[in-house]
Amino acid sequence: MIVMWTHCWPMLALVAISKPGAKGVDIRYYWNNAGLTLRQVQWIGVIDRASLETGLKCSKCMLSLNIQNGTEWLHIGGDLDKFIPIVTSPSQSVATSDLTLEYALKRIKDQRKHSDSLGIFIDLTSLSSLNQTVTILSSVFADTLYDFPILVSIRLTYVPGENEGKFKAIDILDLINENVPFVTSVIGWETYHGMDQVWRRIEDEGLLLDFQLLRLIGLIDQLYKRPMDVTQEEVRFVQVLHRKLDLSHPQSFTFIALEQLLKALDANGNHALEKISNKKPKYRQRNSRLSVGPIREILSDYYIVKSSYRAEIIDQMRRIQGQYLNVGFSLRAGLITNSSDISRIKSTRCSAAGEASKSFFVITRDPSDRETVSLVTNFLEAVGEENIFVDSVLNEETTEDENRIPQPKLKSVGNSRNVNTFVFLSIYLSLVLFSNVENIYLL
């Protein structure tokens, strides 16, 4: 049963240091005027110029930009020696793009209609992008009336002992508030859930480069969501790594992960895997007619299901609320599914005076996570849909291929004809033999 809170706990020790927070747009008021709760706001992922133009056609949307340091494409003016904030896919393995953060913000500023209800969510992959991002925001919106929400999300690593006094999250909030006060900050923390155990073991072995691991994570995520859409190029990538480790580290955990992934791709029957000889393929092809559906998951025994935010992080959320009333918290979907965690996290929305603050939550998932929005229904009901954004990736349904009827195989047709020919030949020979035996008996 979920504990429903009717009031906030007073936190008298924090009254003296309470601040109003950022001067950005009131998030709830803005979307309420558009006739939407935060939960109802549609999120559009922007990863390049094409998706940006698609997002700008929406009149009531949140444009989500994933930012990392990288280079702009050379043929549109990029420089190999100039690393700047670029917009990419969360699982993209190569830090290059045709869309920079500066270009995206200027394009949104120029094309946005005043009548549109449009928001910008800037998700920083690394803290190394923060200073440049703040500078770009300050420059692009220097002479603009801030009448729409701009959110900057940062994920931090909790350091034991930093919950006493001033900690990293407060430093970052102060930096943003002083330089771009029109921006609303969203704070999150690194967690340990889902396939993180697998990625950590692969990292510890050190057999893959960083970009190879990122590409592998993206491929496994796609296997889960859209298994029949995996490209032949990605399959080739897995095969090359598999063959390399088969020769050098066949007992490694990394090789086991690649082995299972390759078998899953082969079993789904949608790709032509290379043969190790001219006689037989490396893996036996599965009869798709006997299959219930495509294989979506690998290393399921290693998937961490039960996870929670540690008490120190919950305490930091509460302390942040004592100083910044208008702030958001990014939450990973798999860590907010049980009632005790829901109650603890809900209490962080209480201000220093014991009143509900302007804080809100953003529910997200990491690549390869298997949680969907249906698993966070209790959290939505307890906290209220007017206080929670839900990232679009949680609303994506995995594609179903139950209606896919495979083409009849020529080989099986040939076998059936051979069987029929054999049956008729056997009957004919039996009749001839019986006829001869009867004639001999008559003689």
Q: Residue 8 above 50 pLDDT? A: yes
Q: Are residues 139 and 75 in the same domain?
A: yes
Query: Which of 270, 301, 332 is the last residue before a domain boundary?
Result: 301
Question: How far is residue 424's CA from residue 246's CA, in Å, rounded to a whole number?
Answer: 49
Band (403; pLDDT cuts 50, 70, 90):
very low
Does residue 400 form part of some domain? no
What is the pTM (predicted TM-score) of this model?
A: 0.80
Distance (Å, whole) CA 70 – CA 82: 8
Residues 220 and 97 in one domain: no
pLDDT, residue 424, reads 60
Q: Is the pLDDT of residue 46 over 90?
A: yes
32 and 171 fall within a common domain: yes
Estimate the crossing angle of helix 232-248 against helix 253-267, to 10 degrees: 140
Rounded Cα distance, 375 and 28, in Å: 24
Q: Does a structural domain hold residue 401?
A: no
* Closest by CA position to 150, among listed 18, 20, 30, 323: 30
Domain count, the chain: 3
Residue 417: inside a domain: yes
Residue from 305, 216, 209 nearest 257 by CA = 216
As given in the structure block, the two tokens for residue 362 are: 């953003």
Identify the pLDDT of residue 147: 82
Residues 178-213: tens digit of each pLDDT: 999 999 999 999 999 999 999 999 999 999 999 999
The predicted-structure confidence for 82-128, as pLDDT tens digits, reads as follows 899 999 988 777 788 999 999 999 999 999 888 889 999 999 998 99
92, 249, 369 from 220: Cα distances, Å = 13, 21, 10
CB 92 within 8 A of CB 76: no
418: amino acid identity, one letter? N
- Statement: residue 354 has pLDDT above 80: no
What pLDDT does residue 322 have? 82
The 10s digit of each residue's pLDDT in 219-249 is: 999 999 888 889 889 999 999 999 999 999 9
Is residue 365 within 8 Å of residue 371, measured between CB atoms? yes
Give the pairing of strands 60-72 and 184-189: unpaired
Give a yes or no: residue 86 inside a domain. yes
In this structure, the answer to whether residues 105 and 18 fall within a common structural domain is yes
Measured CA to CA, the distance from residue 72 to residue 82 in angstroms comes to 8
Q: Of 255, 271, 301, which residue sits at a domain end?
A: 301
User: Is residue 72 within a helix (H) or strand (E), and if so which, with residue range?
Assistant: strand 60-72
Give residue 73's pLDDT. 83
pLDDT higher than 90, residue 383:
yes
Domain hosting 276: range is: 196-301
Of 153-167, 328-342, 406-420, which one has max mean pLDDT?
Answer: 328-342
Three-state SS across 280-312?
CECCCCCCHHHCCCCCCCCCHHHCECCCCCCHH
